[in-house]
Amino acid sequence: MDKAYEAKQHEDRIAEKWEKAKAFQAIRPQDSRSGESFVIPLPPPNVTGTLHLGHAAMLVVEDIMCRYHRMAGDATLWVPGTDHAAIATETVVLKHLGIKDRNKETTRDKFIGECWKWTKKAHDTITNQIRKMGASIDWTRERFTMDMGLSGAVNTIFHDLYEAGLIYRGGRMINWSVGAQSVLADDEVEYKEVNGKLYYYQYFFKDDPKNSLVVATTRPETLFGDTALAVNPKDKRYKSAVGKKVIIPFSNKEIPVIADPYVDLKFGTGCLKITPSHDPNDYEIGRKHKLEARPVIGFDGKMKKSPYVPKEYEGLTREECRKRLSDENDAKVKKYLLKIEPYVHSVGFCYRSHTAIEPMVSTQWFIDVNKAFVHPILKKKTTLKKLTVDAVKKGDVKIIPGRFNKTYFQWVDNLRDWCISRQIWWGHRIPVWYDKKENIHLPRKQNLIFARHGESESNAKMVITSRNDSPLTDLGKSQAAELAEKLKKEKKVKMIISSPLARAKSTGEIIAKKLGVKLVVWDELLEIDCGDITEKDMIPGRSVFERMLEKNTGEALEGMEKRAKTVWEKIEKLDPVDGDILFIGHGMFTSILFALRDGVHPEHYSSFRDDRWRMKNAETREMTHLIAPKGKDLRQDEDTLDTWFSSALWPFSTLGWPDAVNQDFRDFFPTSILETGHDILFFWVARMIMFSLFATGKSPFHTVYLHGLVCDEKGQKMSKSKGNGIDPLAMIDKFGTDALRMAMIVGTTPGNPINLGEKKVEGYRNFANKIWNIARYIFSMNIPAGAKLEPKTHTDKWLLSKTQHLIRSATEGLRKHHYGEVGSMLYKFAWSELADWGIEASKADSSENTALIFREALKSLLMLLHPYTPFVTEKIWESMGEKDLLTLTPWPKPDKKWESKEAEQDFESVKAIVMKIRSLRSEKKIEPSVKIEAVFSGKKLDVLRENENIVKFLASLSSVVYGKKPPRDGISDYVSGTEIFLVLEGVIDEEAEKMRIERELENLEKLIRNLDSRLSNESYVKNAPPRLVEETRRQLQESSEKVKRLKEEKKKYA
């Protein structure tokens, strides 16, 4: 082992070792030691992003959770994936392509193609960076929000919500982002304080052109869209004006003056202009008074061509128009504009494009959160809002830290209908079609039954011959007949589609005949051409599939994927059938069809083949599939869905929903913990809870753990766009992943900001090195043959006992999610206890078992520390000669047998004495190399002295030798009931000594006063825990003793 631990030399190799061992591939709960599952859905990073500290914080906490649970014996699954990040990606790709106006410069299909290209490239960057963090993720289950399975899930829940009457299309006031060219949800609008102006305009009366009403506005450009002026009905100033007509400045259109209690008498002039088309509040007032909405600003942010906008302003941007209408050199302006005041107000901005939001009236799709419906699974009347609130209220979902409950409730209570349509191209296109009369057509749910052919001759021989066709055996034929019988009874098969190969086709024919249904052959359904494989070709530990791929001389993986896609596309185009469609195919290729639908990346097909999708001869599996409506004049809605719509399905869509027979969904849903930053509690967490309860009737997870935001040195949110972040990869490069991980978790508490400086990371790099050197030293200790795990010396006993305590409290801490605390507990144990005292003591105080005991302590430490610093611990474990991976080693359990309070106290006493001597030596400036004589007396020490080792240990650590004769000259002190006398002939500075004693006395007297007042208080003695009172008495006695002796000592120098 090298002298120093160099993270870079080991991390990649260790990661590879884990991957090769499939260490993080989830096992089934029934195969786990605890029988329980532990599941975390990874909050999917945006595909186009790169790793920042926010990701790092998330990955560290989640990895600690997962590694702990995996070692504790739970079937642990960490489901990874990425998010298509609709607006963000579209913006980036448009910029990359240099496109200003996508409608003119490209086509939808072409652009989406570019997005896919970009996405695929960016995907590798972010996922590799996640790997760098040491995240123990099950990559075989990786998903993407736009993959086939998740897109299917999106369409399904849209369909179901629509059927339940919870999705509607309607014209409403929405937030329009001119920059992103799309509508935004309320949450996607960020409000910022802006130094604006308040403009005062005169609206002259139609019948009394000399008089006017004065209105204050921040947005003069909207005045063309005014359809009324409003005053408060209680406002005496304007009583006579109500009902009269006024003229809009610049446009000469007349509008009425109305009265509405919404108007604030005290603000501005007390007179408000109403623009229902461009202000949410005005929109509401407009609806109330049945006022017309006159849009005057277009989706491009420019003044519209409209009968209400005078020609000279048409085509100006909002800002230009405002300038023109307030240009005080303009004669026209002078007529209307009275004054301009500076005014600070908040303006909504797009959270992606950072342009000012334009409120607009537009037709969009919404989710109705308040509408009562009968829940199809829960069979009770409820609303989406109620479901979302109750999950937390009833405790089905626990939020950590708890204070976020309040925030959550407040948000849900104020929740308005969620606008889910977006006018961008990259995303899930709204699964709705319109005919010429604007009637809405939804996809229909088609039940598909997939069956594998009956037993073939090659099946019977246990060989795989995909090249040569192999007919059905007699058994195969009867299997087919049986299946036909079963289908006739239970299903309504109206169409059979079969592979062209004989074994499948014959199976299909038998069934078709029985059911009297037409049989269609699809060439694409044939089996993989992989040559011939017999048992001889098999390699232990490899699945048939893997072996096939290795031996394969025919169709490549990509080919299979492409063919499977074609099959699904063909299914999409099937004409409506009033019943079920039966597919007869082959074991291998059918699983690929399923895998593709489940969104599994082809390279991982083999990992699942034997487990998740395997089919026996004549076995069937059903699923419903959404098929787009057919018709010449049908056209699909142009809009796409809000990114958060698909994110809201994440915990269950990634596990196979809506396919309820999916093994992963059955084994791993609901998930356990959702860990994320508290900034997306609303965006994401609440919506997941809402959708999960709607779709599955269950909460998606039982615990929400919110980490704090990672902030920069100014306390500002770190973000890519601000470019103010520390690059986690640079930290990893410099100090190692383990160091970064420790730095991001120790000293943090959930929900509170995580501050990170380079110095902190460096500190934990040093820690990794310390662990390394502790191991190096312990490895160098000789374990004699016949050594037993039986503590003999004080140090043996102390260490073994301490270790049990550590195991106990670390485990408890992890169970309570006290990750930061456990981290520092382990740090302190390793450095301050094991290294500084344990190892040092062992150098003098050892038995034939000491080395073994230290090795055991190290092992426990490595196990406990592994979730925090996986790399260095795994590396040391390996160097220790352990065969199994540390990451798969069972979590340690404390053994009561080794716990000894006495041993710990004895050791602590010696520690105190040693520290006192060191302190005295340092004060007296005695060179560390000089051994001085020390004389000890006291009860405690007499006990310890019975063991000769302890004497050696004490002497060694404080660098003294035992003096036996009464000393002539020296200093003395008292600690742990022991008098220490250091022989210092000829070097005593009496004055200094006197001062030292006086200082000591002062401290002691302060303490005694404190203790005394406590004990003389009757209620303290009565109310405080007895243990505490006893301890106080003991301390008081000891301190008084000390004082007595120090006073005597002082007399010497008086």
Partner RNA sequence: GGACAAUUAGCUCAGUUGGCUAGAGCGCCCGCCUGACUCGCGGGAGGUCACUGGUUCGAAUCCAGUAUUGUCCACCA
Residues from 1015 through 1044 that contact RNA (CB under 7 A): 1017, 1019-1020, 1023-1025, 1028, 1031, 1035, 1039
DSSP 8-state assignment for residue 891: P
Determine the interface stretch with RNA among 456-464, 560-568, 585-593, 1010-1018 (rule: CB under 7 A).
1010-1018
CA 80/CA 497 separation, integer angstroms: 35
**Cβ atoms 303, 221 nearer than 8 A:** yes
CA 878/CA 899 separation, integer angstroms: 29
Nearer to RNA, 326 or 766 (CB): 766
Backbone φ, ψ for residue 359 (5° rounding): -65, 135
Determine the interface stretch with RNA among 25-33, 426-434, 664-672, 1013-1021 (rule: CB under 7 A).
1013-1021
Token readout for 569 is 């596309």
Contacts (CB under 7 A) with RNA, residues 229-268: 262-268
- Give the shortest CB-988-to-RNA separation in angstroms: 18
Contacts (CB under 7 A) with RNA, residues 821-840: 821, 824, 831-832, 835-836, 839-840
Per-residue exposure over 129-168, b if at least 16 CB sit within 10 Å of its own CB, e if not: bbbbbbbbbbbbbbbbbbbbbbbbbbbbbbbbbbebebbe
Nearer to RNA, 115 or 726 (CB): 726
Q: Which of 687, 760, 866, 996 binds RNA (CB under 7 A)?
A: 760
Nearer to RNA, 25 or 269 (CB): 269
Contacts (CB under 7 A) with RNA, residues 88-117: none
Nearer to RNA, 176 or 665 (CB): 176
Outline where 28-163 has alpha helix (H): 53-71, 86-97, 102-105, 108-132, 148-163
Nearer to RNA, 347 or 538 (CB): 347
- Give the shortest CB-342-to-RNA separation in angstroms: 13
CA 368/CA 170 separation, integer angstroms: 11
CA distances from 320 to 3, 195, 327, 347 (A): 69, 17, 10, 18
CA 709/CA 748 separation, integer angstroms: 11
- Give the shortest CB-1032-to-RNA separation in angstroms: 7
Nearer to RNA, 162 or 829 (CB): 829
CA distances from 581 to 85, 492, 518, 578 (A): 35, 8, 11, 9
Q: Which of 106, 663, 703, 752 binds RNA (CB under 7 A)?
A: 752
Q: Which of 3, 20, 210, 573 binds RNA (CB under 7 A)?
A: 3
- Give the shortest CB-653-to-RNA separation in angstroms: 25
**Site map (CB under 7 A) of RNA, residues 183-222, x = contact:** ---xx--xx-----------------------xxxxx---
- Give the shortest CB-377-to-RNA separation in angstroms: 30
HEC string of 762-797? HHHHHHHHHHHHHHHHHHHCCCCCCCCCCCCCHHHH
Contacts (CB under 7 A) with RNA, residues 342-381: 345-346, 348
Which of 520, 474, 456, 523 is CA-nearest to residue 493? 520
Which of 432, 436, 198, 421 is CA-nearest to residue 326? 198
Nearer to RNA, 443 or 708 (CB): 708
Nearer to RNA, 186 or 390 (CB): 186
Which of 54, 52, 77, 56 is CA-nearest to residue 65? 77
CA 581/CA 604 separation, integer angstroms: 28
- Give the shortest CB-37-to-RNA separation in angstroms: 27
Contacts (CB under 7 A) with RNA, residues 675-704: 679, 682
**Cβ atoms 865, 5 nearer than 8 A:** no
Task: Kindly state the number of chain residues that form the binding site for RNA, as judged by CB under 7 A.
Answer: 98
- Give the shortest CB-676-to-RNA separation in angstroms: 14
Contacts (CB under 7 A) with RNA, residues 870-929: 915, 918-919, 922-923, 927-929
Q: Which of 107, 211, 716, 937 binds RNA (CB under 7 A)?
A: 716
- Give the shortest CB-46-to-RNA separation in angstroms: 18
Nearer to RNA, 231 or 618 (CB): 231
DSSP 8-state assignment for residue 681: I
CA 504/CA 860 separation, integer angstroms: 57
**Site map (CB under 7 A) of RNA, residues 990-1009, x = contact:** -------------x---x--
**Site map (CB under 7 A) of RNA, residues 317-346, x = contact:** ----------------------------xx
HEC string of 955-1019? HHHHCEEECCCCCCCEEEEEECCEEEEEECCCCCCHHHHHHHHHHHHHHHHHHHHHHHHHHHCHH
Residue 531 binds RNA, judged by CB under 7 A: no
CA 620/CA 495 separation, integer angstroms: 15
Which of 893, 875, 892, 886 is CA-nearest to residue 23? 886
Q: Which of 30, 780, 901, 1054 binds RNA (CB under 7 A)?
A: 780
Determine the interface stretch with RNA among 41-49, 53-61, 94-102, 758-766 (rule: CB under 7 A).
758-766
- Give the shortest CB-761-to-RNA separation in angstroms: 10
CA 120/CA 134 separation, integer angstroms: 22
Nearer to RNA, 137 or 954 (CB): 954
Nearer to RNA, 840 or 979 (CB): 840
Determine the interface stretch with RNA among 14-22, 330-338, 622-630, 762-770 (rule: CB under 7 A).
762-770
- Give the shortest CB-838-to-RNA separation in angstroms: 9
**Site map (CB under 7 A) of RNA, residues 264-293, x = contact:** xxxxx-x-xx-----xxx------------
CA 460/CA 476 separation, integer angstroms: 9
Q: What is the largest CA-CA distance in the chain?
A: 120
- Give the shortest CB-541-to-RNA separation in angstroms: 38
Q: Which of 820, 867, 938, 970 binds RNA (CB under 7 A)?
A: 820
Contacts (CB under 7 A) with RNA, residues 651-680: 679
**Pairing label, strands 398-400, 932-937:** unpaired
Nearer to RNA, 458 or 801 (CB): 801
Nearer to RNA, 315 or 813 (CB): 813
DSSP 8-state assignment for residue 472: B
CA 943/CA 941 separation, integer angstroms: 5
Axis-axis angle for helices 850-865, 794-815 (nearest 10): 10
Determine the interface stretch with RNA among 24-32, 305-313, 315-323, 713-721 (rule: CB under 7 A).
713-721
**Site map (CB under 7 A) of RNA, residues 385-424, x = contact:** ------------------x--xx--xx--x----------
- Give the shortest CB-834-to-RNA separation in angstroms: 8
Burial of 428 (0-12, 13-18, 19+ CB in 10 A): buried
Which of 102, 119, 101, 122 is CA-nearest to residue 111? 102
Nearer to RNA, 449 or 814 (CB): 814
Give the sign of the dihedral formed by CA 999, CA 1002, CA 1006, CA 1012: positive
CA distances from 676 to 26, 56, 673 (A): 22, 11, 10
- Give the shortest CB-1007-to-RNA separation in angstroms: 5
In Å, how far from its chain's centre is CA 251? 54
> Bridge partners of 418?
367
- Give the shortest CB-158-to-RNA separation in angstroms: 24
Q: Which of 304, 621, 707, 770 binds RNA (CB under 7 A)?
A: 770
